[in-house]
Amino acid sequence: MSKKILIPLLPALLVLAACETAPAGSDPGSTGTSVDTGNLPTSIVNGSFENGLEGWTAGGSGAFVEDDVSDLTAFSDGVLADKEGTYVYAGGTYSLASFTGTMQSDPFILGGIGQIALKMGAMKNADLCYIEFYEVGNDTPLSFTANGGEESLTKLTNADFDGEGITSHLIRNVVDLSAYLDKFIYIKVTDNDIGSSYEDYSFCNLDDFKVLNSLTEFNDAMVEREDALYANKQEPIDQDPPVTKLRNGNFETGDTSYWLSTSGTVFKQAGLLMDSKGTYWEEAREYFGEGSYFLSSFVSEELTGAIRSEKFTVTDEDGDGHSYVSFMIGGGRDASNYVAVVDGSTGIELMRQANIAFKDPTLAQGLVTYYLDVSDYIGDVLYFSVVDGASGGGFAGIEVDDFRINLSLAELESSIAEKKAWASGNPSAHDDTNKALQALYNGGMSFPLAGSAPAVKESGGYALDLKMSPGTYSLLTYLSRIEATDDYTSSDDLKREIVSGSCDGSTVDVSNPASVDMSTAGEYVYEVKISDAYGQSTTTRIRITTIEDLSYSNTIENGDFETGDASGWELVAGTANLATAISSETVFWAEEIPFNKQGTWFWNGWTAAAEADTYTIRSTVFTLGGSGYISFKIGGRTAYVNLRTESGDLLATYYNSAFNSATPPFPYIADGSFTGTMVPYVADVREYMGQNLYIELVDNGTADWGVGFFDDIKTYYASAVDIGSMRDTVSQNGVNVDIPYRWASEM
């Protein structure tokens, strides 16, 4: 709302100086050329830059150039350009922010009431970026007052810049030069700031230089200034003493009240508040926000920045030495997007939480609740900082909601129980999201509670009971296969270690569990300790019986994933969620691109991990028989299949040679587009006939289409294959397309 005020004329405005006339051709001073003062205009030529730099002369090292005059509607930091007319001088638009120089207007006769109004923005460093006024023929800058103040100045600087509410904004300023009424003057803008990035604001935004002709114009200019300051200045958000319950921790005010943008520009944009009950994408994925609103920096994935909450005091509500906080995060594929708990006095980050639950598309922007233990900081003053440090697209944004502080132990336990129950109730319309949420809140993430010691699934007194050929093996692989759960510590965070080992009752060396000698046939028993985050442990055992001339089935377990889960496969490296990896989807995206799965289920790299993650999963061991051929389906740019001996020696690595994401032919597989569509391959491995082998499915890249899709791994063909007659048939947009089998290409 405009706050109309009438600002009384300063005493200087009541006395009009007598008109002075200098002889034609007098020395123009620092203008550097002679000026015919008899023909000077009575207004500032092209003060709004509607004609480029006409009427202005640039000097120095490139800070002021014609191409910086722009018709843009918003500056590079997203701030709307409150310009007059069509054009504005937007520094750093074409020229580099590090360039320096000067720009001065053509001389003019100062008329009207002797006041000059202008708009200025950026110009962060007042010592290096400023505006001066000179009388023709005199190198000494004129003295003036500004914006109704009484201080005598010689340089107009951007005193309104605060780096938070006001940055590149064009704010009206009014300069009182009435003591020089009817003098021949000119304006000089200086930029000596060599700051190299846009966020240094080491340049000048300028517009609408004009001489004011009446008290009404003066009053309007000052009202415009006050309105702009009122709209953009950020008020202090911290209460004294600090709050013990956040005001607007859930953004239900519908704005960012009690939050302060502290760096960058992304959290200064419009449209940060999102509808918690809304959905995203055509498939209507849910946000799962709390209440009506949540905060999102996806308004611009290119911009970065940080925003903080008000400061709060950590209290111990029950007097038992416990205090906890919680908040929700969505998006944030990159670890440089996170929520931090920060010391309110020093600004030092004490704790940091990224969105470990991110999965595209399963939980790409769905909000997940995280809990942190801040008991060590009871009595201290802290605040939350939401940081968006990623740019360039690919989910380079972060969403947050429902910040809560000073939770008691009972409140924490109750909140976690509610989340577990909520996830178990299938809150999403999408099965893959429901599976991900259930896995996440039940072993997929850790909570700051001790609970009970881990529970281990055993059969016959052993967590694993295996038969293998004699050889040297890594026990670390088998540790990951032990099924252990904990009520509050994530399965990935459980510590697993070999305590001791024996062979037929005699002690064996387990000092290097990555390479254990089991080359002598016998019964090896290893004691394993599994500990949670609080050091509570459970002891279990692994038994491995090595047998000479051991043979296995000719087929691997669950090579086609038709069990509907990842049974028969183990994660041996990297990051993947076996609980959510198996999918029944048939097509993806609006173009209805087929996955080309076999049967109902397949390994879906999008539900297994983020594209930024890599991993390796291993099959059961098989003895190569039949005709000595194997086959598999793979999709994605970074999908590979390894063939290894039982002891781990690499025999071959096959890649997706058909991958093609070019446009065209994307998205049509009939034209040769193969992205997430799995292509069937055959490998001739007859030279390994009779050997015990296993398969690894690998996603080893994070580039575009850094994802792997796998299905239908066959390790037994009774007779030699006729690859020319082997083909899959899929349908895309009602058109049937044949996908022929291909010989697998080795790396």
Higher pLDDT, 674 or 11: 674
> Residue 156 corresponds to which tokens in the numbers above?
């107009």
Domain boundary residue, one of 444, 469, 504: 444
Query: Are 529 and 604 in a shared domain?
Result: no
Quickly list DSSP for 410-436. HHHHHHHHHHHHHHHT--SSSHHHHHH
Query: Are 436 and 460 in a shared domain?
Result: no
Question: What CATH number does the domain containing 211 carry?
Answer: 2.60.120.200
Residue 4 is assigned to a structural domain of this protein: no
Least confident of 36-40, 84-88, 348-352, 420-424: 36-40
pLDDT of residue 623: 95
Q: For residue 36, is pLDDT > 90?
A: no
Cα–chain center distance at 50: 39
Q: What's the mean per-residue pLDDT of the chain?
A: 91
Q: For residue 11, is pLDDT > 70?
A: no
Query: Are 314 and 336 in a shared domain?
Result: yes
CB neighbourhood size of 539 (10 A) = 11
Query: Are 347 and 412 in a shared domain?
Result: yes
**Cβ(658)–Cβ(742) below 8 Å:** yes
> Please, which pLDDT band fits residue 16 given cuts at 50, 70 and 90?
very low
Residue 354 is assigned to a structural domain of this protein: yes
Residue 3 is assigned to a structural domain of this protein: no
Query: Are 437 and 466 in a shared domain?
Result: no
Cα-Cα-Cα-Cα torsion 440, 445, 447, 452, nearest 10 degrees, comes to 90
Calculate mean pLDDT across residues 490-517. Answer: 94
**Cβ(125)–Cβ(101) below 8 Å:** no
Q: Is the pTM of this model over 0.95?
A: no
> Please, which pLDDT band fits residue 17 given cuts at 50, 70 and 90?
very low
Query: Are 685 and 708 in a shared domain?
Result: yes
Of 58-62, 358-362, 672-676, the range with the highest mean pLDDT is 672-676
> Please, which pLDDT band fits residue 23 given cuts at 50, 70 and 90?
very low
Q: For residue 318, is pLDDT > 90?
A: yes
Query: Are 508 and 575 in a shared domain?
Result: no
Residue 319 is assigned to a structural domain of this protein: yes
Q: For residue 27, is pLDDT > 50?
A: no
Calculate mean pLDDT across residues 79-85. Answer: 91
d(CA 479, CA 493): 13
d(CA 452, CA 532): 9
Which H or E run contains 221? helix 215-232
Question: What CATH number does the domain containing 424 carry?
Answer: 2.60.120
Least confident of 28-37, 83-92, 314-323, 445-454: 28-37
What percent of the chain stands above pLDDT 90?
78
pLDDT of residue 35: 65
Q: Which domain holds residue 669?
A: 570-746
Residue 171 is assigned to a structural domain of this protein: yes
pLDDT of residue 197: 84
Q: For residue 170, is pLDDT > 50?
A: yes
pLDDT of residue 34: 58
Query: Are 396 and 328 in a shared domain?
Result: yes
Number of structural domains in the chain: 4
Cα dihedral across residues 202, 205, 210, 216: positive or negative = negative
Q: For residue 4, is pLDDT > 60?
A: no
Which H or E run contains 439? helix 431-439
d(CA 365, CA 286): 8
pLDDT of residue 162: 86
Strands 100-105, 184-191: pairing is antiparallel
Residue 609 is assigned to a structural domain of this protein: yes
Domain boundary residue, one of 215, 232, 249: 232
How would you write 368-385 as a 3-class SS string?
EEEEEECHHHCCCEEEEE
Q: Which amino acid is at 189?
A: V
Residue 249 is assigned to a structural domain of this protein: no
Quick: pLDDT tens for 250-302.
999 999 999 998 877 888 788 999 999 999 988 899 999 999 999 999 998 88
Quick: pLDDT tens for 89-121.
999 899 999 999 999 999 999 999 999 999 999
Query: Are 342 and 472 in a shared domain?
Result: no
Domain boundary residue, one of 444, 466, 493: 444
Query: Are 430 and 533 in a shared domain?
Result: no
Quick: pLDDT tens for 199-234.
899 999 999 999 999 999 999 999 999 999 987 877
Query: Are 421 and 468 in a shared domain?
Result: no
Quick: pLDDT tens for 127-169.
999 999 999 999 999 999 999 999 999 999 999 998 777 989 9
DSSP one-letter code for 226: H
Query: Are 655 and 684 in a shared domain?
Result: yes
Q: Which residues pair with 464 in a beta bridge?
A: 542
Question: What CATH number does the domain containing 485 carry?
Answer: 2.60.40
Quick: pLDDT tens for 391-439.
876 788 999 999 999 999 999 999 999 999 999 999 999 988 998 899 8
Residue 239 is assigned to a structural domain of this protein: no
Scan for tokens 């896995």, then name that residue: 439
> For residues 452-491, b (16+ Cβ closer than 10 Å) or e, as one string?
ebbebeeeeebbbeeebbbbebebebbbeebebebbbbbb
pLDDT of residue 163: 79
